[in-house]
Amino acid sequence: MRRSILLAIVAALALAVGLSSLAAAGQGGVETSAKRAHKKGKKKGKRCAKAKGKKKKGKRCKPSGALPLKPGMYEGKDGISLNVTEGGKKAAIVFGTSQGGGPTTCIPIPVELSDKTTISTAKRFKAGGTKIPSFGGYGEIRWVIEVDPKLRYKLRVDSSFALPDQDPCDKPGARFSGRLKKVG
């Protein structure tokens, strides 16, 4: 009889120890599940998956920045401004200093040069490219501006004229660069 009582006590102790460890493990499991549920509820920042392989396409992300350019006036360096109109379909370069385009161009006065050739996407803005007659038909100006999503720009200006009673001027490839700032 003592033997069966001892066996019953040992079995009860083993069962108690087993159940308490099971309860502790279950409680830890509950905590882990609660932590996971809390993490799932949190919003994660958007990430762009990179494409793997040639045929697979990654998740598309919009570049952070200010493109496409909204209509308005943007100022740059050296008295240069960009005027975007008609929802980004038209643009004009403004040389606003008293020297016009400065010593690297044949544009001696403040002037606004408009152009209809504009490409405006989330990745780039490009305008210009056509030759504009100037100086009463005695000269021409061609400009091209490219703007990236961080509003950094590169402007190239080709200008020339041959006015009567003046020395001719021919200055291709004048380059300007900087960062635009929306002012209006």
User: What are the domain boundaries of the chain?
Assistant: 72-182
Could you read off the pLDDT of 37-74 as tens digits, one per residue?
555 555 555 555 555 555 555 555 554 566 788 899 99
Q: Is 80 exceeded by the pLDDT of residue 150?
A: yes
User: Per-residue pLDDT averaged across 109-137, rounded?
Assistant: 88
Q: Is 60 exceeded by the pLDDT of residue 18?
A: no
* Residue 66 β-bridge partners: none
Sign of the torsion formed by the C-alpha atoms of 16, 18, 19 and 21: positive
How far is Cα 29 from Cα 89, in angstroms, rounded to an integer? 60
* Residue 182 β-bridge partners: 74
**Nearest-CA neighbor of 157 among 146, 179, 173, 138?**
173
CATH tag, 72-182:
2.40.128
**pLDDT at position 6, please?**
53
Q: Which residue has the higher pLDDT, 47 or 135?
A: 135
70's CB contacts (< 8 A; 6+ apart) are: 84, 88, 182
* Residue 140 β-bridge partners: 133, 160
